Chains A and B, each alone.
Chain A
Amino acid sequence: MTATQTVKQAKKPIDFIGYFLRIMIIITLVCLFVPALNPTHMSELMNDSDSFFTSGISYGGIADAFKRAVTKGYIEQGVLVRTYVGALTSLIGMAAMLVGCAMTIGEIKFKRLGAKLSLIGSAVSVAGLIFVKLQQSGFTNAANPERIKPLEPVGAIIFIVLAGICFLLSLLYLLKLPKAAKEAQWVMEGQYRLFLMMAPFIVLVFLFSYLPLWGWRYAFFDYKPGQALTPDNFVGFKWFTYLFQNAATRADIGRVMINTLAMSGIGLAMSWLPLAFAIFLTEIKCGPVRRAVQTITTIPNFISWVLVYTVAFALFSSDGFVNQFLLSTGLASESTDFLIGNDGIWLKMYLWGTWKGLGWGAIIYIAGISGIDQALYEAATIDGAGRFQKIWHITIPGLMPTFFVQFVLSISNILSNGMDQYLVFRNATNTSSIQVLDLYVYMLGLGKSNQIPLSTVVGMAKSIISVILLFSANKASKAIRGSGIV
């Protein structure tokens, strides 16, 4: 204990370099994921959206773009292989830097090892980067430069400088660190050990939840798939105004919004249904029947929308069960395909959603009912209250808080109907009435039209409005019942 304490006191003057080293290493590693800084991006053939990490981690990241060029002999395969080897070496060095960086937050023995690791790692990384840079000539002097379209990536220099700074800092750090005392142990403070255990997950959250926000920049460029984002195709708020100025787009948006709000609106208007389902289900006093009904009605919640569509197809297509039934009983003279066309599609979508989700949505209320004090019911029975009076005066007030939370949450999700359901039920004849916002964003951006900037704008607007709705709903909930929902 005393040993660690003295070390702690002694470390103060040099910790500044430690902080600086860690920050530099983290900056270097973040740059790995910036496509604009990819040092291997030495030809226009390569995908602009690939980062150094993507290119370095798999050979395909570099070579896929050159399949044709290699077979035609425009460029040597060796150049690509050497570029990949250099990139991979550099990445391995950076992995060592990362480990070293993590170790330097321990006590003296960890610090020394961490500094050594990041020293070696940054040296390896610089070597790999220089090796990549040397392959530049392979691209510029390729057999057919017009086809290869060589580029001089600025990222190579930036990475060499960054890794070089890390190298110098590690060296400085190592020289300044005192020798570890003989009795010194491998110790790291609990708070840092916990943080290091957490760190990989923080990285995942960053990569998959925060980094996509960086993609909002596509909204400000005249981007076509495969192109780079350059100052030349920066268009500012063009796509935002386009949304309102272009008549066709405006009409599309209007139609999509009506569909979205109509379907959400039906859902909101019917949001009492799970509550009623739960109340009347608990009125079934025969235990086995009640449990069986509850179990069976929950099954559809666990099957995918594709399967729901298969079910719909089996029952309602022109040679499905319903048509066969109507024909065989003579109720209809010819079969109709109920899945084709716009008629009543909002209602149909609501009904399928209900078929799938009603039993599931009721569970929360069933649990709520079992939490209501039985003495209330007994007292009411003695006072002569009937079944419906008990429901109205005891059960419903008891469930109101739960209902309120669900209702407010569904208001804040008014624009998010999800896309699976509408995607599977969509076909050429019903697109105009079934297309909700989520589906529209998908078809606009990733469908045939491939309008990435416009789709990004719509998605952005939707995200921002949803967040505002959620927080307003939360505020309203706080004002009405004194506690928030998020």
Chain B
Amino acid sequence: MAKSKVKHGFRLTAEDVVFNIINYTIFILFALICLFPFYYLFINTISDNALVGAGRIQLLPKGIHFNNYIGLTRINGLGTSFIVSVARTVIGTVLMVGASALVGYLVTKQEMWGRKFWYRFLVITMYFNAGLVPWYMNMSMLGLTNNFLAYIIPGIISPYNIILVKTYIESIPAELEESASIDGAGYFRIFRCIIFPLCKPILATIAIFGAVGHWNSFTDSLILMSGKPELFTLQHRLYTYMNEATNLAAMIQQGGSDIGNLATQASMNMRPIKFTVAMATVIPILLVYPFMSKYFEKGIMLGAVKG
């Protein structure tokens, strides 16, 4: 459109200028609103803790130091939570991607025994849900409470991702597979040597969404791991720290002034530490973000196709 304007010799009218100014302003403002909170958290973690406690850090860091980040190692349980979060993200994502690729391939094979039935059996699970309590009772029946495997095993199968892979495989020319099968390759060999490498773009997409989901999830940790704090995820830790703050704040409002003063003081001292924990959980996302963004559009557009 920009080109056609030049070609036809149109000039920006006064109306266009006003429109552009308003439009640019609104979008840049919204982008700043999206970015500022992270910046604000960050400057509060690297500024002088006394100033942070007094609420003196607003737009620029003062008295820069990194002791809060070093201090993270001294918080009990945070290290194990970090390991748990990383482990579930890596193992869970790898297994989910592998399973989605294999199942996505298998359901494209017309000759499979009962293919139609099993495919429906799988896809229909996207549309119903037993509810939270039956799910919890089921997990406990399977021995998956207070058990690290609870983070991994239920997430292996993701019908939505399987549909994405299946649709992608269907777009690969069938001749590739046929020629390999004539050369005597078995199903698994075809999958490993031909289908899997060709599916890498879509697998990268679902891997990113899977990894972000694993990294960010905290309700499963909250509900299933109540008896084993060493299996809490990082998000769950942050939730408990933040929850303490909320309770303190509620106490300030409801309780007497004595409790109030004590609580305020405690919460003030905790502020930089909490923000540092928050930064530690958000930094991994921000670091991989530039690599992820190119897969967004592809993923969401493929998601628009139906099973």
Contacts and interface: CB of A to CB of B under 8 A. Distances in A.
Interface stretch (B63-71, B169-177, B245-253): B245-253
Nearest to B131: A459
Contact of B138 (A215, A321, A420, A459): A215
Contacts of A209: 125, 157
B4 A197 contact: no
Nearest to A292: B31
A191 B112 contact: yes
Interface residues of B, number: 104
A296 B58 contact: no
Interface string B280-307: 0110011001001100110011001010
B17 interface: no
Contact of A298 (B122, B215, B267, B293): B293
B4 A441 contact: no
Interface string B97-130: 0010011001101011111001001100101111
Interface in A289-308: 289, 292-293, 295-300, 302-307
Interface in A16-38: 33, 35
Contacts of B238: 306-307, 310
Contacts of A340: 249-250, 253
Given A190-B187, A321-B58, A303 B282 contact: yes
A201 B103 contact: yes
A462 B131 CA distance: 8
A146 B153 CA distance: 39
A29 to B, nearest CB: 14
Interface string B193-212: 00000000000000000001
A35 B141 contact: yes
Interface stretch (A52-60, A106-114, A148-156): A52-60
Given A57-B143, A205-B122, A314-B37, A363 B300 contact: yes
A295 B24 CA distance: 15
B188 A197 contact: yes
Contacts of A424: 239, 242
Contact of B140 (A49, A194, A429, A456): A49
Contacts of A381: 1, 4-5, 8, 10
A309 to B, nearest CB: 6
A58 B128 CA distance: 32
B14 interface: no
A427 B246 contact: yes
A446 B136 contact: yes
Contacts of B219: 419-420, 423
B133 A441 contact: yes
A51 B103 CA distance: 28
A364 interface: yes
A215 B44 contact: no
Contacts of A69: none
B242 A313 contact: yes
A373 interface: no
Contacts of B250: 340, 427-429
Contact of B187 (A193, A304, A309, A339): A193
Contacts of B40: 314-315, 321
Interface stretch (A71-79, A135-143, A463-471): A463-471
Given A53-B143, A191-B112, A205-B157, A427 B247 contact: yes
A51 B264 CA distance: 49
Interface in B241-267: 242, 245-247, 249-250, 252-254, 264, 267
Contacts of A427: 246-247, 249-250
Contacts of A303: 216, 282, 285
Contact of B106 (A35, A198, A311, A377): A198
Contact of B19 (A191, A216, A387, A402): A387
B106 A194 contact: yes
Contacts of A271: none
B79 interface: no
B159 to A, nearest CB: 8
20 contacts: A50-B141, A191-B112, A194-B115, A197-B102, A197-B106, A212-B130, A214-B134, A215-B130, A215-B135, A280-B27, A304-B217, A305-B218, A306-B218, A311-B41, A317-B245, A321-B40, A340-B249, A359-B34, A427-B250, A446-B133
Given A307-B238, A309-B239, A367-B301, 11 more contacts: A201-B99, A201-B156, A201-B157, A207-B142, A284-B23, A304-B218, A314-B40, A328-B58, A377-B4, A381-B10, A446-B133
Interface of A: 33, 35, 47, 49-51, 53-54, 57-58, 61, 190-195, 197-198, 201-202, 204-205, 207-216, 218, 280-281, 283-285, 289, 292-293, 295-300, 302-307, 309-311, 313-315, 317-319, 321, 323-325, 328, 337, 339-340, 355, 358-359, 363-364, 366-367, 374, 377-378, 381-382, 387, 402, 405, 419-420, 423-424, 427-429, 438, 441-442, 445-446, 452, 455-456, 458-460, 462-463, 466-467, 470, 484-486
